[in-house]
Amino acid sequence: MKNSDLFFFAVNDYIERLRLDLKSEKTITTYMEGLESFRSYLCKQMGMDIEKTRFSDIDDDTIRNFLKYLIESGHSLSTRNIKLISIKGYIRYCAEKDITLLPLQLKVSKIKTKKVQPKKHNWISSAQVKCLLEQPSKNRTGIRDRFIMLILFSTGMRLDELLECRIGSIHLCGKDSYIYVKGKGSKERVIPITRETIDNLKVYLDLFHRNTDNDEFLIYTIHDGNRHKMSADNVQRIIKKYADMVRKTDGDFPKLHPHMLRHSYGAVLYRNNMSKAEIAKLLGHEQESTTEIYVETDVDMIRDSLKQISKEDQEDLYASLSPDERNKIKGQS
């Protein structure tokens, strides 16, 4: 028996292929966990000797039975879909290397992932957005925290995209202003920003980025007197802090996380009649189908949320600044 006949023989080569395809380490880890779960199932539930398991020992029914096992074990639909995608991707890679595996790949490709319905509270309403943005104090730290939440909501950036964003990525050109983003797999995209976001951005830049160069991180913390990229955990803590404050008066306010703000942005785009293809482009989705989770929303979904950030609310941001600073920023508008 040739080594290439063994089902798991090409796993290391597959990992390298994923890296060459510019998949993120998080994506690669997820795929490997899916394959490991399948390996464990074959070994512990099917009694197979993994070191001797061949491609000929695996068929589409084997994978269907694996998915049934996951259901019985209480795994969520999303988890089952991810594990199926990881197995299908690996078999497809192997079939590219060995044409005799094409029949297996074709059969397995017919096993479809299941549609995942949006989770309850996977977005926040217009009123909840406004309430959230009212929580930070009007001091320097509060303005920073408010800006972080607003920029996530009003651009739909992933958290890691925001944390990697540099001053040179921001281009203020009036109504055509935008932020240049490098997303998953180093894929680049441009996100237009609204007037409301520009106004907030100018306040933030004036407070935190006077006379800084283009390589500076947009969001930073200071350690030992030096600026460093803010950690994801720090942003999570900031958002949780203000969400907990809202929850004191709104018992229905969900446990908020950065991706929920991104989801809400996608819903805003959809509710403003933007096509799924356009939304996918703005959100940096590789496949248009991924956008489905952002557009299946209820009738109370966010509508014109950004416009509801009133002029009075905007003026509150300037409260901690001197009159000269406020006039300077307003004069740039």
- 66-117 confidence digits (pLDDT tens): 999 999 998 888 889 999 999 999 999 999 999 999 999 999 999 999 876 6
Q: Is the pLDDT of residue 312 over 50?
A: no
Helical segments of the chain, H only: 11-20, 25-40, 60-72, 77-97, 102-109, 126-133, 140-155, 159-164, 195-208, 232-247, 258-271, 276-283, 292-295, 311-316, 323-331
Percent of the chain residues past pLDDT 70, beyond the cut: 82
User: Cα angle at 91 between 89 and 94, to 5 degrees?
Assistant: 110
Q: Regarding predicted confidence, which is higher, 326 or 296?
A: 326
Q: Is the pLDDT of residue 236 over 50?
A: yes
For 40, residues 6+ apart whose C-beta sits below 8 A from its C-beta are none
Quote the pTM value: 0.57
A 10 A CB-CB count for 36 gives 14
C-alpha closest to that of 256 among 124, 117, 109, 58: 124
Q: 94-123: b or e for each residue (b if 16 or more CB lie within 10 Å)?
A: bbeeeeebeebbeebeeeeeeeeebeeebb
